[in-house]
Amino acid sequence: MNNQEKDIRLYMFLRLVLLFSVLVSLVVFQRTGILSRDTIVKTYFVTFFTFFVTTGFIFLYEKAKNVSYFLTSQVAYDILFTTVLIFYTGPYESMYTIFYLFNIMFAALLFPRVGAVIAAIASSLLYCSIAWINSDRTTDDKAFSILITITGFVSLSLLAGQLVEELRKSRQHISRLEELSEEIVNSLDTGLLALDSHDVVRKVNRTAREILAVVDETFILGRTVREVLPMLGDVSGRLSEIKEVNVRERMRRMLITRVALPEKHSMILLRDLTDVLDLEEKVRRQERLAGVGRLATGVAHEIRNPIASISGAAQILSGDNSDQEERGRLTALIVRESERVDRLVNQLLRFAKPPVEQRNSVRLDEVLHECVEAIRTRPDFQELDIELELAVKGSLPVLGNRDELSEVINNLLVNSMQAFVEYKSAQRHWIKVGARKAKGQIEVVVEDNGPGIPKEFRSRVFDPFFTTKPTGTGLGLAQVHKIVRDHNGEVDLSTEEGRGTSLTIRLPA
């Protein structure tokens, strides 16, 4: 229903109200004897006739070919009806003179501003004609009353025309805003269900209809959200979770979010994540396969060299031409390379083992002090002449495994220390370790002013068996990343060639 139809319906309703008020007033006049019987009968006749005209107007309005002419005839009839009432009841004493004002407002409501002015002029002319016909002698008081009445008609027409014009502009502006908001809501790639205070769906956008496979929105409107989405159950309060929804015998995984609005209204946001989650699962599966491939390649590379050495030594020992000293050297080589393989296997087992389920409260500040003191006593650390600083702010309790957290800190310190093995720089070498509690997390930062990591290697530093060191296995930082993730934490890397590297660990406090 557009604004014009609303105005016409309002006009019909007010017209019936005015007719009813005329009938009530006539009953009162009849009982009090204010008007003569002849005047009452004539007025009743005109009023009932107008009632039938109004009823006919209501039924014929939708069939009218030219609505503008049809409305003009009705307003003109209203002015004539008011004139007849005033003619019968007297121009100066009649209570129906105010009906002219209603007619002027009707004209302002149904037509542009000029319509109200024309209605005011017509009412003024008719009122003056009745006053002239019914007056034997016009006194100054009556002339002044007529002038005031006519002035009121014209003033009201101008004021009503201006107000209605502003109303129309406001309606147009609101209509444009509604159209814009409707277009924005329908263009969202997220389904939207607007609910009232009783959780009844009052608005549904195009995406929601597509997600729920509903062609006609009337199937959803007027129903409670529990009927539309029964898997939600009781949706009181805020809700945001992924649920499976049966859409035309197909299970779809949707992110369903409830957002509270003023006056206990709310809205449900639907986002179909089935394709996205399937794609993520496929990518994770491919990443796992790729990771297994890289792991197998790394293991083969690391084991091939010691196995080759052991095999060669065993072949030489199998001969009879080697002396005792040669046999001892080859035996020591076999033992050394076997121990190397054993260390590699142990590292792989630690890296591949599942996370420890049992967690205890661990003072991370104590772990940091122990690890820093341990690395300071290492001979290789003292030979490199590195200044090690530790700055810990207060007690830092976390829920985790103490041995695993110690391994994380040791690996980070050893990794920073080994960065200085072949790095020659005129500046003083240092490693700084800092820890603090911030925003519900424990943050540990291990930074150095070493050579930094080249750009082409930065995306691979946490990959198993990736290393740039001649004697490294490439499992240190990979193990750090795994343990931190198992503790629901995260690792951030920041590095710059020639300026150093900073590794930040964040764990839930």
Alpha-helical (H) ranges within 91-232 are: 98-110, 113-133, 140-187, 206-211, 225-228
CA gap 447, 449 in Å, rounded: 7
467 confidence band (pLDDT: 50, 70, 90): low
| pTM score, whole prediction | 0.45
Residue predicted with more confidence, 211 or 355: 211
- The structure tokens listed for 16 are 């019936």
pLDDT at position 193, please? 83
What are 200's strand-pairing partners? 224
Confidence check: pLDDT of 458 > 80: no
Q: Which residues contact 336 (CB under 8 A, 6 or more apart)?
A: none
Q: Which residue matches tokens 């129903």? A: 223
Tokens matching residue 388: 């090690």
Identify whether the C-beta of residue 233 lies closer than 8 Å to the C-beta of residue 213.
no
Q: Find, among 506, 485, 338, 349, the residue nearest to 437 by Cα.
A: 506
Q: Terminus-to-terminus CA distance in the chain, angstroms? A: 59
Tens-place pLDDT, residues 240-253: 777 777 777 677 78
The residue written with tokens 């006194």 in the block is 139
Mean pLDDT of 290-296: 62
pLDDT the model gives residue 292: 60
Which helix (H) or strand (E) segment holds residue 365: the answer is helix 364-376
Rounded to whole angstroms, how far apart are CA atoms 300 and 19?
101
Confidence tier at 139 by pLDDT (50, 70, 90):
low
> Does position 419 have pLDDT exceeding 70, yes or no?
yes
Q: Are 298 and 465 in contact (CB under 8 A)?
A: yes
Q: What is the pLDDT of residues 327-383, one digit of tens each?
A: 677 777 777 777 667 666 666 666 556 665 667 788 888 888 888 888 888 877 777
For residue 295, the model assigns a pLDDT of: 62
User: What's residue 28's pLDDT?
Assistant: 82
Q: How far apart are CA 72 and CA 74, in angstroms?
A: 5
pLDDT reported for residue 129: 81
CB atoms near residue 401 (< 10 Å): 18
**Where does residue 51 rank: exposed (0-12), middle (13-18), buried (19+ CB within 10 A)?**
middle
Nearest-5° Cα angle at 376, 399 to 454: 80
Q: 3-class secondary structure for 61-117? A: HHHCCCHHHHHHHHHHHHHHHHHHHHHHHCCCCCHHHHHHHHHHHHHHHHCCHHHHH
Counting Cα atoms < 13 Å in the Cβ hemisphere of 43 gives: 27
Helix (H) or strand (E) holding 340: helix 324-352
CA distance 324 to 316: 12
* Res 358: pLDDT: 61
* Dihedral Cα 160, 162, 163, 169, nearest 10 deg: 140
Cβ-contact 322, 330 below 8 angstroms: yes
Q: Is 3 helix (H, G, I), strand (E, B) or coil?
A: helix
In the structure encoding, which two tokens stand for residue 13, read together? Answer: 């309703």
pLDDT band, residue 294 (cuts 50/70/90): low
CB proximity list for 444: less than 8 A, separation 6 or greater? 364, 368, 409, 433, 434, 435, 504, 505, 506, 507
**CA–CA distances in Å: residue 412 to residues 388, 395, 475:** 13, 21, 12
Could you give the C-alpha distances from 301 to 308, 311, 335, 435, in angstroms and in order?
A: 11, 16, 19, 37
